[in-house]
Homo-oligomer: A and B are copies of this chain.
Amino acid sequence: MKFFSFWRSLASFRVRIALNLKNVPTEVVFVDLDANAHRDPEYRRINPQMALPALVEDDGTTLFQSLAISNISTRNTPPRRCCRRYQRPRPRPCAGADGRLRGTSLLVPRVRRYLDHELNLRDTQQAAWRRHWIVETLAALEGHLAGHKDTGKFCHADAPTLADICMVGHVTVAVTQQIDLKIYPTVKRIFETAMALPEFARAHPLAQPDTPEAMRKS
């Protein structure tokens, strides 16, 4: 299986966690978005939409979209093994997925480009835009999770699910933007619990083979 990844792509981050949790071995191909490698004819043959990530299975089936990959990329692995640590989330913890829908889709590069080139927003306006949607999503997540009977060590009970994968991506962006998590105590606790797991920690954007040296976690 080939997994096309970029260190600071949030969607790649989500898939890396899922693949780690499911213990799926992949050959990782690094696609340098900063060098426009996703626009190369070579990658366009893999994904004509030129978006990351992509997963090419051994039979040639190609999957895009991090949630689809995270959900199904283990169909060829022994179920017992892949289900041990990673379960399909039950409905409510879609809180995490909802987090992705609400906030992250407003922070992706093509929206940034529109704000920049079409609306000519100043840097301070762009920073305010980012902050607004990050904070709104954190508040929604905290509202979903705090005090809910199904919330456990993780978003849903005591094992990581897709909800945690989505949440961790969003919170990582918030941390990068130096947003204080103190007023989102449930989110903060679950984020820290998840990031303490090696499967999450190893997937972190700043810990990848293609992370620039200067950005790398010490």
Q: Is A197 an interface residue (CB 8 A)?
A: no
Shortest distance between the CB of A132 and any CB in chain B (Å): 7
Query: Pick the contact of A119 from B92, B94, B98, B125 — CB < 8 Å?
Result: B125
Query: Pick the contact of A143 from B48, B65, B98, B128 — CB < 8 Å?
Result: B48
- Please tell me if the beta carbons of A119 and B121 are within 8 angstroms of each other in the complex: yes
Q: Is A183 an interface residue (CB 8 A)?
A: no
In Å, the complex CA distance between A106 and B105 comes to 8
Query: Pick the contact of A94 from B67, B101, B140, B143 — CB < 8 Å?
Result: B67
With a CB–CB cut-off of 8 A, which chain B residues contact A92?
63, 68
- Please tell me if the beta carbons of B98 and A65 are within 8 angstroms of each other in the complex: yes
In Å, the complex CA distance between A68 and B92 comes to 8
- Please tell me if the beta carbons of A140 and B105 are within 8 angstroms of each other in the complex: no
Measured CB to CB, the nearest residue on chain B to A67 is: B94
With a CB–CB cut-off of 8 A, which chain B residues contact A140?
49
Q: Is A175 an interface residue (CB 8 A)?
A: no
- Please tell me if the beta carbons of A114 and B132 are within 8 angstroms of each other in the complex: yes
- Please tell me if the beta carbons of A65 and B94 are within 8 angstroms of each other in the complex: yes
Q: Is A83 an interface residue (CB 8 A)?
A: no
Shortest distance between the CB of A165 and any CB in chain B (Å): 15
Interface residues of A in 129-171 (CB under 8 A from B): 129, 132, 136, 140, 143-144
With a CB–CB cut-off of 8 A, which chain B residues contact A91?
63, 65, 68-69, 71-72
Q: Is A111 an interface residue (CB 8 A)?
A: yes
- Please tell me if the beta carbons of B49 and A68 are within 8 angstroms of each other in the complex: no
- Please tell me if the beta carbons of B49 and A144 are within 8 angstroms of each other in the complex: yes
19 other contacts beyond A67-B97, A72-B91, A105-B105, with CB at 8 A cut-off?
A49-B143, A63-B91, A63-B92, A65-B91, A65-B98, A67-B94, A68-B91, A68-B94, A69-B91, A101-B101, A101-B105, A102-B105, A105-B106, A106-B111, A110-B136, A114-B129, A118-B128, A118-B129, A119-B125
